[in-house]
Amino acid sequence: MPKHADARPAGPADSARAAATKEALLAAAHDEFAQHGIAGARVDRIARRAGVNKERIYGYFGSKEKLFDAVVKRALDDFARVTAGPGDDGPVEYVGRLFDYYREHPDLLRLLMWESLHERTDDLPDRQWRVELCGSRVDALAEALGEERSPRVARTMLALKALAMMPLALPQIGSLIGVDLDDPEEAGAMREHLLAFARTALSDGPAGRS
């Protein structure tokens, strides 16, 4: 009788174990990539953190780069799920909600910065999904501003995101000028300052209509 005759189809228990293994790998990889980036991350460390053989990484994801892509996609999924667009309570409060999320999830900014630094020979993964997500936010901003979608509105969206991101993405600059965002009181003051800045920029003056 052939050796494979006793092989059985995968059942619910096998599927559950596979899902648990993938989840463990994604969680371990999230921490590893956020800390070391794509080039510096090590699959053996990821596997050790996840408690599995490193061959599982290649079996489930194909490569270290594709594992990184899966980590970023999941982080962006989480971000998109819990952060409403600028049309819900206005573009000014949107800046505050972005600031809050980035402050509570600093790994997302690190992952995006590592992705930006990594030289790719092809398009970003899940590009169409990202284009549609970002496009929906630009549409919401245009509606909140009472305008049609345009390159100016897209630039405004990028500027609003930059306001929320920059103090947290480059904390060393804040430290050099005396802004310590590890201090909750200072972080709160910075948040209010960003909202005031956005409110002025979105007014009818030159900064809001350029």
What pTM was computed for the model?
A: 0.84
Angle at CA 141, nearest 5°, toward 110 and 174? 35
Q: Which of 50, 70, 73, 72 is nearest to 62 (CA)?
A: 70
Q: What is the biggest distance separating any 2 CA atoms in the chain, rounded to whole angstroms?
A: 83
Give the DSSP letter of residue 183: S
Query: What's the Cα-to-Cα distance from 44 to each of 26, 48, 51, rounded to whole Å?
Result: 14, 6, 10
Residue 195 predicted with pLDDT over 50: yes
The string of pLDDT tens digits covering residues 91-109 is: 999 999 999 999 999 999 9
The residues near 30 (Cβ < 8 Å, ≥ 6 apart) are: 71, 74, 75, 107, 111
CA distance 31 to 26: 9
Cα 18 to chain centroid distance, Å, stands at 25
Residue 68 predicted with pLDDT over 50: yes
The string of pLDDT tens digits covering residues 2-50 is: 545 455 555 656 678 888 999 999 999 999 999 999 999 999 999 999 9
Q: Which of 95, 89, 100 is nearest to 201 (CA)?
A: 95
Residue 22 · residue 60 · CB < 8 Å? yes
The pLDDT value recorded for residue 88 is: 76
The pLDDT value recorded for residue 9 is: 55
The pLDDT value recorded for residue 1 is: 46
Domain ranges of the chain: 64-204
Fold of 64-204: Tetracycline Repressor; domain 2 (1.10.357)
The amino acid that residue 6 corresponds to is: D
CA distance 37 to 113: 9
pLDDT confidence band for 120 (50 / 70 / 90): low
Residue 78 predicted with pLDDT over 70: yes
Higher pLDDT, 194 or 122: 194
